[in-house]
């Protein structure tokens, strides 16, 4: 996943700005608070206070807004694809690729991206 310029038409068409807070969860460690940047059906971009090496596996916990005024908490398996320091965001901009998602979670993401 390329954070600045999505590689596929699918990612370009369905990428959506998603500014919120979330958490990265690692087995055996406390969660790390992150800021979400954008979201698509195959991954996300976050801003984190630390630099994670590519291929790091963890889980991203976010809450998606749902219509009309609800929310849906999700915990998504992710793999770090790239990371670089972004001074304007005061943190590391990290590209994440989703692991295997249930059909229900895939539908929730697609509904949100189309809303």
Fold annotation for 9-114: Thrombin, subunit H (2.40.10)
Is the pLDDT at 4 greater than 50? The verdict is no
Q: Within 13 Å, how many C-alpha atoms sit on residue 106's CB side?
A: 7
Q: 92, 83, 15, 27: which is closest to 55 by C-alpha?
A: 83
**What is the reported pLDDT for 26?**
94
pTM equals 0.85
Give the start-to-end residue ranges of the domains of the chain: 9-114
Provide mean pLDDT across the span 70-79. Answer: 94
Res 2: pLDDT: 40
Position 13 confidence tier, pLDDT thresholds 50, 70, 90: low
pLDDT of residue 1: 39
Which position has the higher pLDDT, 55 or 65?
Answer: 55
């Amino acid at each position: 996943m390329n954070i600045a310029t999505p590689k596929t038409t699918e990612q370009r068409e369905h990428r959506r700005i998603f500014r919120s807070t979330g958490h990265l969860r690692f087995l055996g460690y406390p969660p790390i608070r992150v800021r979400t940047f954008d979201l698509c059906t195959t991954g996300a971009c976050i801003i984190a206070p630390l630099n994670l090496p590519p291929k790091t596996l963890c889980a991203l916990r976010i809450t998606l807004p749902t219509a009309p005024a609800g929310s849906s908490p999700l915990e998504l398996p992710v793999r770090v694809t790239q990371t670089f320091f972004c001074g304007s965001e005061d943190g590391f901009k990290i590209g994440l690729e989703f692991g295997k998602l249930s059909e229900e979670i895939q539908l929730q993401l697609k509904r949100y991206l189309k809303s």
